[in-house]
Amino acid sequence: MRGEYKVPGGKLVAVELETDDGRISEAHVSGDFFLEPDEALEDINAALVGLPADARADDVAASIASRLPDDAQLIGFSPEAVGIAVRRALGHASRWEDHTFDLIAPVTLDPRMHVALDEVLAGEVARGEAGPSLRFWDWDRPLVVMGSFQSYRNEIDEEGRRRHGIDVVRRITGGGAMFMEPGNCITYSLVVPASLVEGLSFQRSYEFLDDWVMGALAELGIRARYVPINDIASDQGKIAGAAQRRLAGGVVLHHVTMAYDIDADKMLEVLRIGREKMSDKGTRSANKRVDPMRSQTGLPREQIIDSFLRSFESRYAVTRRTYTQTELDAAATLVETKFSTPAWTHRIP
């Protein structure tokens, strides 16, 4: 049995295993990583032998750490990375290459529909009715999309919201508010089976699920990096923020919003917490815009999204499609019965 794990920004770890009577009986770790001293590889292999075949990645990592000499240096990988490769070898985890993704280009909808589609598509994957998907949002009106656990009154300036005619919807993932006007940002949702992030901590799963977009940004000339827990930044500052939720049925919903060209003045009149965040960045004067994707690429928003779609398509097996009528009808029902209701929007006053 063989498993592999490519550390984001690091090296490849491969593990070949044999099992006997529910335990690992033989183990060989290899890869393009660096390790000092050489003999430490024998310690890593020995740490795997005897472990239960259902050992968690954390248990594998702890066993390795306990066997390594104090002067061991693991460069480009970690005990946790070996643990993930072990879980994959034993069939507990999957790889990107094990899946065919539905790839959905932007479809202009009421933004509340996109919030509802996250729940609809995740449910389909959980029930085995659809495969994993990557989809990009497009919307026809302004909206603030709040994180699941944010306080409405602490986040929203009601007077500013009414003055600018901007509605509010609460999504099912955590994180901060998204100030969305048509064309002002780039948002995508990724729905995958939990097996893809098997063995990864929540923090590491963010970086892992966005590894593809780091490559896509590089193709556009942006040197991006992940800033824990959930931000993507370049040398010029923050580009994007991510949010995630692990749902019943073994499904992970992960989405990212990148600032393309945001009216900071209007945002600061609508979002209370936004004022504190923006003042920390020195954005206080009038007529300021938050435009890292526009200014750093010099490209139209549609061209950036198309580049992202093609980049993902070049990396993984995909099927291009659009939403089915059944999905749209289910989302519309959720908008009416859940996402448009005061009970949901104000569930944390």
pLDDT value for 282: 45
Whole-number Å distance between alpha carbons of 254 and 209: 8
Alpha helices in 68-187 (DSSP H): 79-89, 111-126, 152-155, 158-164
Q: What element of type H or E holds 310? A: helix 301-315
C-beta of residue 27 within 8 angstroms of C-beta of residue 49: yes
Taking residue 34's Cβ as centre, other Cβ atoms within 10 Å add up to 11
pLDDT of residue 349: 95
The pairs formed by 50-54 with CB atoms below 8 angstroms and a separation of 24 or more are 50/23, 50/24, 51/23, 51/24, 51/86, 52/22, 52/23, 52/24, 53/19, 53/22, 53/23, 53/24, 53/90, 54/22, 54/90, 54/92
What does the pLDDT look like over 64-88, one tens digit per residue?
999 999 999 999 999 999 999 999 9
> How many CB atoms lie under 10 A from the CB of residue 137?
26
Residues in the chain predicted with pLDDT less than 50, given as ranges, are 280-286
Q: What percent of the chain has pLDDT over 90?
A: 87
Q: State pTM to two decimals.
A: 0.87
CA dist 203 and 108 (Å) reads 32
pLDDT for the residue 276: 55
Residue 73 pairs with which residues in a beta bridge?
Answer: 36
Write down the pLDDT at residue 202.
83
Dist. CA 1–CA 13, nearest whole Å: 14
CA–CA dist 82, 24 (Å, integer): 14
Distance CA 111, CA 118 (A): 11
Task: Calculate the average pLDDT of the chain.
Answer: 93
What is residue 93's predicted lDDT score, i.e. its pLDDT?
Answer: 85
Cα separation of 75 and 61, whole Å?
15
